[in-house]
Amino acid sequence: MQRYFVNRQENHSFILSVEDSYHILVVMRMKIGDKIEIVSKERLYLCEIDKIITNKSQDLVEAKIIHEIASNTSLPVKVILAQSIVQENKMDYILQKATELGVKAIQPFVANRSMINIKGKENKRILRWQKIVKEASEQSKGLLIPEVKDIMNIDDLCKVDCEVKLFCSVNETSTTLKKVLANITNDVTMICVVGPEGGFTVEEENKLLNSGYCRVSLGNRVLRTETVGLYIMSVINYNFMR
């Protein structure tokens, strides 16, 4: 069953956005009486398409609530994935898969060795990324859309206030992700920082260490940056599996 995230509610009905209404009516070819799932404020409802409202030559779907559905697909820990900006197709993939694996928020950032320059295109990229995580949340039957935060640099990341702060490194003195997770309890918020394809500079690693981040290793293999975040989210999912 198709799932949509909706903010606009009127009495016991939801009014879907222009984009979602188009998807329902044109792409999925649904009609009045068809059932859909709607998530609003992290609560899941079974709904029925009740009306088609024409507004300024645009059709909007109104769906009435049949009943609320008990559901909990969220991780017991809140994970912020801080990802160094990479090529567009790789970034899209990271956002999509991290969302499927239950990430709470995405924090894009620029490092010294980042190969991509999006100066002047930041707002356009963030809008694109927001659309990607919304669609991935709907597809994966999530109850929230991860927040895509404004782009930062390393100095900004050093100021982030979080209960657990990690960054990935191939340095031999790094502790393992397994050891770190063994000491983490439910309801903790953690940020995991993934560097660019060329890795962090020594200066950047020292800045992160001096601001309370723990340097972690993911094992003996050197992973591509687009693999790291998904590896971390997979391990976290396994570690906190109910």
Residues 119-129, mean pLDDT to the nearest whole number:
89
Q: State whether 107 and 204 are in the same domain.
A: yes
pLDDT at residue 242, as a whole number? 61
Per-residue pLDDT tens over the stretch 28-73: 999 999 999 999 988 999 999 999 988 777 889 999 999 999 887 7
Residue 106's SS3 state is strand
Residue of higher predicted confidence among 46 and 122: 46
H helices of 77-141, in order, are 88-100, 122-139
Alpha-carbon distance values, 9 to 4, 116, 171 (Å)? 13, 40, 51
d(CA 94, CA 85) in angstroms, rounded, equals: 10
Counting every residue, how long is the chain? 242
Q: State whether 85 and 18 are in the same domain.
A: no
pLDDT bin (cut points 50, 70, 90) of residue 174 is confident
Quote the percentage of the chain above a pLDDT of 70.
Answer: 99
Q: Which domain holds residue 61?
A: 3-69
Residues 6+ positions from 1 with CB-CB distance below 8 Å: 35, 36, 37
What pairs with residue 112 in β-bridges? Answer: none
Per-residue pLDDT tens over the stretch 212-239: 999 998 888 888 889 999 999 999 999 8
Could you tell me the two tokens for 109? 């950032």
Residues 6+ positions from 6 with CB-CB distance below 8 Å: 14, 15, 16, 17, 20, 38, 39, 40
d(CA 77, CA 69) in angstroms, rounded, equals: 23
Q: State whether 132 and 186 are in the same domain.
A: yes
Q: State whether 222 and 183 are in the same domain.
A: yes
Stated pTM of the model: 0.89
- Residue where one domain finishes, among candidates 69, 90, 118: 69
Q: State whether 93 and 191 are in the same domain.
A: yes
CATH number at residue 30: 2.40.240.20
pLDDT at residue 159, as a whole number? 95
What type of residue sits at position 196?
A: P
